Structure 1
Amino acid sequence: MKRRDLIKKLSMLPLAGSVFPIQSLVSAPVAGNNISSHLQQKPMPELHRKAFVMDGHTHVMSRELMLGTDIGQRYTDGTVDLPRAREGGLDAMFFSVYTPEHYYPGRMETKNTFRVVNLALDQIEKNKDMIELALNASDIERINRKGKMAAFLDLEGGYDLDGDINLLRAMYRLGLRSMQLTAHNTTNAFIDSCNDIKRWGGINDLGKKIIAEMNSLGMVINVAHASNEAILQTAEASEHPVIYSHGGFYGIVPHPRCITDEAAKAVASKGGVIGIHFGSLFNNPKYWSWQQKTPNETTPASVQLSAKTLEAVDKEFAKEVPLNFKGSIPDAYWMHVDQLAKVIDYGVNLVGEDHMAIGSDLDGGPELPREIKDISDFPQITIAMQKLGYSDERIKKILGLNWLRVIRQVTEG
């Protein structure tokens, strides 16, 4: 048995068999915490345990930055921490740091991005018994052989609204290897967002220069949150595969954040990968229809928010942390994980099994299926794909091998 498989199996055992120190399994601030209650065994198919499992979009560091917490602790809320990720069988994740719209009006996006990246590096080092930073696919494999999870650093949100290439290079030197081109839901100086005004008709000349620079550096280009035209133009401009890290299909739910069939085919034609989000809003037509009965249209956050001090902006953003869905869903509209499998199947039939993956957006706000309450329930997606009759090889590709292939092509090609 490989060491990685052994570690996965041990993580499902009672505390006496755990390979992790007790402080990494219990959140220190919780008084009287019952350790064993957090280690109840959950179903993990043998296939899931043996497979390489990678999440293409997992939110980290927002709560650590705002609340001074430690991702190596087990939280009593939220959906992501390292102990629960281990229980979910995760071998690697796009360790996605986030700079939201709150920081844009005062042009604090660059400052926030550097501090969350620095914090991510600090947290990875602090929890090096469980996780290590990976800069390429070979690093991921090396780290897994030691029985640890690999963190592939990824940015969601604006690294710099002006698109300064020198700042991009600086982020690369810090270890950033994947980046979303849009400033979250906001159009910036070089690419249109799907949720904001369209200034460029897709991407402009600066956008093409940034794409070329990312190709040269060996950075994964992420087109999630981009407009349809921007996705098509980015796929055409990039020499390397591009990814759509997290979302659904517009052909299933006509939400502007979902990828069109045309754009999905363009991503796949370049060898790219599409990660399926775990939320009902992007994947469940019944939930989408219910939401449309009481529309809550708002202007982009970049327009609504006003410039304040960094401390004041932090205070506003801290109210939202952890970034979970905080509403309730009537039973009739509450999605089962089987619906996620159907969305994956739609993608497989559209672009092929080599171009589909998982991008959960956990701790980023999705309305999770009934069977998934946090990252420890990741095996549920494997069970749902097995119910579809998928072969082991197909499931392994979707669980992580497709992400690993793209990372290898981009970072080591």
Structure 2
Amino acid sequence: MMTSDVLNRRNFLKRAALAAASATLPVPALGATSARAAALHRSAYVFDGHVHALDREFYHGGNITDRVAIGQWDLPRAKEGGIDAFFLSVYVPEEYYPGRYETKQALRRIDHALDQVHKANPQLGLALNGRDLVRLQQENKVAAVLDIEGSYDLDGDLGVLRSLHQLGLRSAQVSAHNWNQHYADACCSAAQWKGLTPHGRDVVREMNRLGMVINVSHSADSTMAQVIDASERPVIATHQGLRQVNDIPRNIPDDLLKKLVDRGGVIGFQIGSEFAYPREYTWLTAHRKKTFWDTTSIPERTKGKTIYEIDELMGPTFPMLGADVPDEVAMHIDDWVGVVDRAIQLVGEDAVALGSDFDGGPTLARGMRDVRDLPMITEAMLRRGYTETRIRKFLGGNLRRAFTQATA
């Protein structure tokens, strides 16, 4: 007798296959934008700080180069959206933590990512530092930066960290996803360490020494503040929002944003309404059975399961798509750009970046289908009166600078 998890996964695969088979030719990504916005977007270096590019392929098969009809991101559509580089999320969900499978899952996901990048040559290449960004751009390849989201090891073992670095990992969240590490508090769990433990500071120092991006998204406020103080290199929050706009733990308060930027850091803005649009967030919260970040049921749901059984449990949840919401509460792209503008007014145009979180669950702005529609941002910024220089900084220049400094 099949379990419901297996049936759900098989039904998902059937839907995906049917959708892929019936997919029509894509609509040109820039068709709905002005000639000026289209030209600017195509000529800009577009660097996305957070993409769930391979979750679907890991759990359901296929390749990053396959155009699919389910989800918000694949390489063909990304290229239509003007993407030049992106942080490829090596996502290790909390479900792998209770059985202490987190390190094994991190290794499996990195192995899968490296295989996918290799198969995608000559369209895609792995970027380990700023020099690689230059080289890959000259070779007309999209650059992928491996970024752990979740825990590479709950204990923060430095030997494991060094091994992952040797494999090509160049960015990692200090805290786990929505679950405390044994050395750092996460945003959405009860405080355990009041930030970093002494070993947590060792992790920060080792990441500095190795030349890794320190990613403070999903960190508790106390963790974030202590990481910024401890790091000798710029710190990046790859996919965030502003707490002054929506008062939730995953958003950054003004004082911490200023602190991050004072040390050369950059904030990537998550493109969904969860973070950026209180009206839609309120509607979504009212229509969910649990909060978006609830992890309380995980230990019971995963008790006694093998890592492969957890794979079966997780498969139907990917890709993580945004909720369908009524038009009357849906965010407009100008609402989202308005949040970016607030940050610029607070900390300047050299500190803001794109951190879309495509296929990671965001409910996109009204009319935005997927990564193909990134030029809608460029159009909205031109409407707001931004200079082309400011827009280029946001689309990729600022993140490129911070990544180059962090990995030098």
Report the TM-score, using the length of structure 1 for normalisation.
Answer: 0.89
Q: How does 1:193-232 map to 2 (within 5 A)?
A: 193-232=186-225
Partner of 1:345 in structure 2?
341
Secondary structure at 1:319 match in 2:
helix
**Distance (Å, rounded) in 2 between the aligned partners of 1:255 and 1:387:** 29
Residue 278 (1) aligns with residue 271 (2): yes
The alpha-carbon deviation at position 52 of structure 1 amounts to: 0.5
1:84 partnered with 2:77? yes
- Could you tell me how far apart the structure 2 residues matched to 1:114 and 1:206 are? 22
8 Å contact kept, 1:235–1:266: yes
Q: Is 1:117 aligned to residue 114 of structure 2?
A: no
Give the match for residue 6 of structure 1.
none
Is 1:364–2:353 an aligned residue pair? no
Q: How far apart are 1:305 and its partner, in Å?
A: 3.8
After TM superposition, give the deviation of residue 79 of structure 1 in Å.
0.6
CA separation in 1, counterparts of 2:29 and 2:337? Answer: 25
CA contact (8 A) 2:51 2:358 kept: yes
Residues 135, 177 of structure 1: 8 Å contact kept: yes
Aligned AA for 2:372?
A: S
Q: CA deviation at 1:181?
A: 1.1
Deviations for 1:37-70, whole angstroms, at most 9, x for unmatched residues? Answer: 4557633521111110010000122111111111
So what's the TM-score if we normalise by structure 2?
Answer: 0.91
Q: What SS does the aligned partner of 2:324 have?
A: coil
CA contact (8 A) 2:273 2:280 kept: yes
Secondary structure of 2:394's counterpart equals helix
Identity of aligned residues (%): 42
Give the C-alpha shift of residue 189 in structure 1: 0.6
For 2:168 and 2:243, how far apart are their aligned partners in 1? Answer: 33
Residue 318 of structure 1: aligned partner: 315
Q: Indicate if the aligned counterparts of 1:371 and 1:380 stay in contact, CA closer than 8 A.
A: no
Look up the match of 1:238. 231
Cα distance in 1 between the residues matched to 2:55 and 2:91: 7
Aligned match of 1:45: 38
Aligned residues: 385
Counterpart-to-counterpart distance in 1, 2:283 and 2:75: 35
Q: Tell me, yes or no, if the aligned pair for 2:19 and 2:70 is still in contact at 8 Å.
A: no
SS of 2:302's equivalent in the other structure is coil
Measure how far apart 1:265 and its partner are.
Answer: 0.8
Matches within 5 A, 1:12-27: none
Question: Is contact 2:208-2:233 (8 Å) kept?
Answer: yes
Distance 1:37 1:200, change over 3 A: closer
Alignment of 1:10-159 (within 5 A): 33=22, 36-37=25-26, 42=31, 43=33, 45-159=38-152
Within 2, Cα distance between the matches of 1:40 and 1:103? 37
Give the CA deviation at 1:306.
Answer: 2.8
Q: Which amino acid letter does the alignment assign opposite residue 36 of structure 1? A: L
Distance 1:34 1:101, change over 3 A: closer
Deviation of 1:183 after TM superposition, in Å, equals 1.3
Which amino acid is the alignment partner of residue 61 of structure 2? G
RMSD (Å), alpha carbons = 1.8
What is the deviation of 1:122? 0.5
The answer to whether the 8 A contact 2:29-2:372 is kept is no
Equivalent residue letter for 2:235: V
Change (3 A) 1:32 1:233: closer
Query: Within 2, Cα distance between the matches of 1:214 and 1:88?
Result: 32
Amino acid at match of 1:314: D
Residue deviations 1:117-176 (CA, integer Å, cap 9, x gap): 111110011011211011111111110111111011111010001111100000000000
For residues 233 and 301 of structure 1, do their structure 2 counterparts lie closer, same or farther at Cα, with a shift above 3 Å needed?
farther
**Shift of residue 407 of structure 1?**
1.1
1:36 Cα deviation from its structure 2 partner: 3.4
Q: Distance in 1 between matches of 2:58 and 2:216?
A: 26
Report the Cα distance in structure 2 between the residues aligned to 1:374 and 1:322, rounded to whole angstroms.
Answer: 13
Q: Which amino acid aligns with 1:77?
A: I
SS of corresponding position for 2:172: strand
2 CA distance for matches of 1:173 and 1:302? 31
CA distance in 2, matches of 1:41, 1:290: 31
Identify if the C-alpha distance between structure 1 residues 319 and 265 changes in structure 2 by more than 3 Å, giving closer, same or farther.
same
Give the Cα separation in 1 of the matches to 2:296 and 2:194. Answer: 18
Query: Which protein has greater RCO, CA pairs closer than 8 Å, 6+ apart?
Result: 2
How much has 1:350 moved relative to structure 2?
1.0
Secondary structure in 1 matching 2:88: strand
**Any conservation in 2 of the 1:105–1:305 contact (CA below 8 Å)?**
no
Hey, what's the Cα distance between the residues in 1 that align with 2:320 and 2:225?
30
Distance 2:354 2:327 in 1: 25
Match status 1:388 vs 2:384: yes
SS at structure 2 position matched to 1:177? strand
Q: Equivalents in 2 of 1:399, 1:37: separation in Å? A: 23
The 1:410/1:41 distance shift into structure 2, 3 A limit, reads closer
Q: Which of 308-317 and 293-302 deviates more?
A: 293-302
| Residue 397 of structure 1 pairs with residue 393 of structure 2 | yes
The letter of the residue matching 1:362 is F
